[in-house]
Structure 1
Amino acid sequence: MAQYQTLLYYCYSPIEHAEQFAADHLEFCKSLGLVGRIIVADEGLNGTVSGTPTACQAYMDAIHADTRFAKTDFKIDEVEEPSFIKMHCRYKSEIVHSGLRNPEIIDPNKQTGIHLEPTEFMEMKDRDDVVVLDVRSNYEHNVGRFKNAVTLDIENFREFPEKVKELEQYKGKKILTYCTGGIKCEKASALLLQEGFEEVYQLHGGIIKYGKEAGGKDFEGKCYVFDNRVTVDINNVNPVVVSTCRNCGTTTPKMINCANAECNEHFTQCDECGWEMEGCCSDKCKSNPHKREYDGTGYYVKVPQPVNLEKISKRKHKKFPSKEQA
């Protein structure tokens, strides 16, 4: 049995005084010895936390005991070491950045696509009247995606609303949306319904749950995750590798962050090129003075930058000009 667990979850449920909740929740997680990243917004919670099985169970029990979050579905991974270094819990405007903040327009608690359990999704995905739609970003679906899935050229999820018009050709078909854990599909499927797509579905629990309950069949490549692991295996039925090294084009499942801190781009790179390029995506990044030392993993812990008081002072004066400046 692994020494640690990693929990992936989200819950759309209104939170009053969400900013204070975030501060209190951070202290609660620290008291359990958890590490991870949680986003709190007025609309709910989105988190990945890691710790001992005892700590993770205590956390899940506490979340389920709160009536606001009683419906939360946790995806549990057994891991050899914690998937994070520190514990972060921050208040933001949305629990997944989509630009669809108005609950009068998009509210997953009122309207969203029909949830399909992994086995239901597996049974439907290959039908002639079905389109499987990946709503994730480029770097995510580049390293792994469902066989024959439609992917969108987006750098982040907030670009999704602009891409809906490219899907007009699929109106009249059943749209099966999927993402890592399900959270993006809640808003993506709701938006598709609003835009006139009549039959919209979503993979409940996302790729992670599909791997656990359906063996990951026909998911090609690896699944990108937002923690130290970077990617995880999903398919134990008919696995294949679909990603290629950016630098030499050979097949590789390995995804890293560019060693140049000013770039930090997610990209796939084979081990040979990794050492040759020192973990950089290009020669330009390789010669950048802010290049970090590459250790073969391509994962870098964020280091707090020193506070530049002079720069802060200039910003304040610019934002709040004096009477003479005004």
Structure 2
Amino acid sequence: MAHYQTLLYYCYSPIEHAEQFAADHLEFCKSLNLVGRIIVADEGLNGTVSGTPESCAAYMLAVHADPRFTKTEFKIDDVEELSFIKMHCRYKSEIVHSGLRDPQIIDPNKQTGVHLEPKDFLAMKDQEDVVVLDVRSNYEHNVGHFKNAVRLDIENFREFPEKIKELAQYKGKKILTYCTGGIKCEKASALLLKEGFEDVYQLHGGIIKYGKEVGGEDFEGKCYVFDNRVTVDVNSVNPAIVSTCRNCGTVTPKMINCANPVCNEHFTQCDACGEELDGCCSTACLEAPNRRTYDGTGYYVKVPQPVNIEKISKRKHKNFPAKEIAEEA
């Protein structure tokens, strides 16, 4: 029996004084003994948190009790160990970095692609007039993707807008977008519509929900996640491994971060090469002076960086209203 849960969620909903909210929300999460990573922006929330079932239930109740976040949908995983080591809640310009910050241009609350439930996505994805589009980064889709999906060569989602011109050949077809939990598709599908694509859809709840509800059929490989699990299994119907070791080419589903913190590249590596290179992506990184100790997982606590004084904001703390609700749960 799993001792903990991990919650994946997002919500596009305007937050006034979002920077202060982030500071208050961090203290609230700590009061529930949660660990995880939450991004707060003026446009909403994007988070993954982990804790006991009781703490997770209290957190979900509190979030749903806030009128701004009642529509938030949580994907819940039962896990044997906590999926993070610490709790972070940070204010940023966007809840997923796309470079599309102007709500007058792209606003997921006003226009997105048609949301397809997993069963409907499954029914549509192999139709002749359909193109399945992966909107994630290279390191994500290299370790796992839908069979026959179009995958863009991007290192970060912020590169997606400039890649749309490469998709012009698919205008006139139905475009089915997908990502890990659905958040990237909200803006990706909206931008496709703005650029003249008429039939645009998105997998509601992303790969994670697809795996839970329809068994992950035809998703090949593993799904990259942004916590210390690194990747998770999705397909229980017709699973396959599609990734190979960067160093020797052996088929492997294992993905790690380079042990050299300056590099920190996400890449797939077999256990044999991991042992030989001590978790590094290359012999050059193996010689790095500040190389981290490789324990076989390839997941590391973020190395603290020098403080940038100019980015520090003075905050006046106030109570997070939902805290009392959670404590009563």
Instruction: Provide the TM-score with structure 2 as the length reference.
Output: 0.93
Matched, 1:231 2:237: no
Quote the Cα distance in structure 1 between the aligned partners of 2:102 and 2:41. 13
Matched, 1:156 2:156: yes
Q: Report the counterpart of residue 323 of structure 1 in structure 2.
A: none
Hey, what does 2:39 align to over in structure 1? Answer: 39
Distance 1:149 1:10 in 2: 24
Partner of 2:166: 166
Match of 1:60 in 2: 60
CA shift for structure 1 position 129: 0.3
Q: Larger relative contact order (C-alpha < 8 A, sep ≥ 6)?
A: 2
Partner amino acid for 1:89? C
Alpha-carbon distance in structure 2 between the residues aligned to 1:298 and 1:17? 37
Whether the 8 Å contact between 2:180 and 2:224 is mirrored in structure 1 is yes
Contact 2:8–2:48, Cα closer than 8 Å, also in 1: yes
CA drift at 1:161: 0.2
Cα distance, 1:306 vs structure 2: 6.1
Distance 2:98 2:303 in 1: 27
- Equivalents in 2 of 1:190, 1:26: separation in Å? 30
Q: Conserved in 1, the CA contact under 8 Å of 2:98 and 2:158?
A: yes
Which protein is bigger by CA-based radius of gyration?
Answer: 1
1:87-129 deviation digits (Å, cap 9, x = unpaired): 0000000000000000000000000000000000000000000
Question: What secondary structure is seen at the aligned counterpart in 2 of 1:123?
Answer: helix
Q: Tell me the residue number matched to 2:319.
A: none
Alignment of 1:168-183 (within 5 A): 168-183=168-183
How far does the alpha carbon of each residue in 1:151-199 deviate from its partner, in whole angstroms, 9 at most, with x for none? Answer: 0000000000000000000000000000000000000000000000000
**Match of 1:114?**
114
- Aligned residue identity for 1:109: N
Instruction: Provide the residue aligned with 2:327 in structure 1.
Output: none
Q: Which residue of 2 aligns with 1:48?
A: 48
5+ long unaligned stretches in structure 2: 312-329
* Per-residue CA distance 1:18-58 (angstroms, 9 max, x = gap): 01111110111000010000000000000000000000000
2:261–2:303 contact (8 Å) kept in structure 1: no
Q: Which amino acid aligns with 1:154?
A: I
CA distance in 2 between counterparts of 1:33 and 1:260 reads 31
Number of aligned residues: 311
Kindly provide the CA deviation profile for residues 196-242 of structure 1, in whole angstroms up to 9, marking residues without a partner as x: 00000000000000000010000000000000000000000000000
Partner of 1:321: none
The percentage of aligned residue pairs carrying the same residue is 84
The more displaced of 160-169 and 291-300 is 291-300
Whole-Å separation in 2 of the counterparts to 1:91 and 1:297? 29
Q: Which residue of 1 aligns with 2:79?
A: 79
Runs of 4+ in 1 over 2 A off after TM superposition: 303-307
Post-superposition shift, 1:304? 2.3
Partner of 2:96: 96
Deviations 1:37-91 (A, max 9, x none): 0000000000000000000000000011111100000000000011000000000
Show the 5 A alignment for 1:209-224: 209-224=209-224
Is residue 291 of structure 1 aligned with residue 294 of structure 2? no
- 1:302 Cα deviation from its structure 2 partner: 1.7
Contact 2:2–2:80, Cα closer than 8 Å, also in 1: yes
The equivalent residue for 2:24 is 24
Matched, 1:268 2:268: yes
> Quick one: structure 1 residues 197 and 306, their matched pair in 2 at CA, closer, same or farther if it must change by over 3 Å?
closer
CA distance in 2, matches of 1:298, 1:135: 25
User: How far apart in 2 are the matches of 1:278 and 1:251?
Assistant: 19
Structure 2 CA distance for aligned equivalents of residues 67 and 8 of structure 1: 19
Alpha-carbon distance between aligned partners in 2 of 1:130 and 1:73, rounded to the nearest angstrom? 27
Using the TM superposition, give the Cα deviation of residue 292 of structure 1 relative to its aligned residue in structure 2, in angstroms: 1.1
Partner AA of 1:286 in structure 2: L
Task: Indicate the residue corresponding to 1:254 in structure 2.
Answer: 254
2:3 maps to which residue? 3
Question: What is the SS of the residue equivalent to 1:159?
Answer: helix
Q: Does structure 1 conserve the Cα–Cα contact (< 8 Å) formed by 2:223 and 2:234?
A: yes
